Amino acid sequence: IVGGSDQVIRNAPWQVSIQISARHECGGVIYSKEIVMTAGHCLHGKSVTLMKVRVGAQNHNYGGTLVPVAAYKVHEQFDSRYLHFDIAVLRLSTPLTFGLSTRAINLAKKSPLGGSTVTVTGWGYTDNGAYADTLKKAQLQIIDRGECASPKYGYGADFVGEETICAANTHADACTGDSGGPLVANSQLVGIVSWGYRCADVNYPGVYVDVAVLRPWIVKAANAL
């Protein structure tokens, strides 16, 4: 998170660190005691035996509980070139015990309105170009899909998929290592960090999976996994 501030895990208890080969790789979001959501590109093509999830932790390196991953599923329409349908669900090897620092978040049923305020959290790159040891947050404004794909910004319609929304703020953004993490409004999950060109560049907003649009897929995939 660039341009953010500290976030206490108790105030984002759905936030997890997806670890591959014992290193923080991506953020993730607790859906249920056994299912975690993340970005498709975080898991795509990787071996499940290398994956673990750290839950209930302030620091992605230690604390909370580290749980192995039993299985995962990336969206059937995931496109690694354009990062369309950039979502995956994974099943933990043992169910979580929920508490003050560990719990699920409800999925939004409606896409957030352009201009509304949302919060993104993660352990991704800060202003100094390294992962944050402790969790950070930033407040952003939603830019609806049509505006994000318009010539006002640098991406164009091919890159801003139908299932995405954008969010930005003048000096704040998600960045490398925040992918897969939550975008939250009114204690509901409205987005999952997907990608962006650079970080906190005014011409390139952060791109997020629109959770309301992919909600049917999430529910079905979680049930089947």
Q: Does the protein bind ligand 4AZ through residue 179 (CB under 6 A)? A: yes
Q: Does the protein bind ligand 4AZ through residue 192 (CB under 6 A)? A: no
CB of 120 closer than 8 Å to CB of 138 = yes
> Is 116 a catalytic site residue?
no
> Which residue from 184, 196, 209, 221 is in contact with ligand 4AZ, where contact means CB under 6 A?
196
Q: Does the protein bind ligand 4AZ through residue 176 (CB under 6 A)? A: yes
Alpha helices in the chain (DSSP H): 40-43, 145-149, 211-224
> Which residue from 195, 212, 214, 218 is in contact with ligand 4AZ, where contact means CB under 6 A?
195
- The 3-state DSSP class for residue 188 equals strand
CB of 177 closer than 8 Å to CB of 26 = yes
Dist. CA 192–CA 210, nearest whole Å:
7
Min separation Cβ 79 and ligand 4AZ, Å: 16
Catalytic residue among 60, 84, 86, 210: 86
Query: What burial letters (b/e) apply to 77-105, b meaning 16+ CB within 10 Å?
Result: ebeeeebbbbbbbbbbeeebeeeebbebb
Q: Does the protein bind ligand 4AZ through residue 132 (CB under 6 A)? A: no
Give residue for tokens 């998600």: 174
Q: Does the protein bind ligand 4AZ through residue 183 (CB under 6 A)? A: no
The token duo for 188 is 């509901």
Q: Does the protein bind ligand 4AZ through residue 199 (CB under 6 A)? A: yes
Of the candidate spans 126-134, 137-145, 190-198, 209-217, the one that interacts with ligand 4AZ by CB under 6 A turns out to be 190-198
Size of interface with ligand 4AZ, in residues (CB under 6 A):
12
Dist. CA 18–CA 28, nearest whole Å:
6
Neighbour tally for 63: CB within 10 Å: 15
Q: Does the protein bind ligand 4AZ through residue 163 (CB under 6 A)? A: no
> Which residue from 25, 163, 173, 210 is in contact with ligand 4AZ, where contact means CB under 6 A?
173
| Catalytic site positions | 41, 86, 179
Instruction: Provide the binding-site residues for ligand 4AZ, judged by CB under 6 A.
Output: 173-179, 193, 195-196, 199, 206
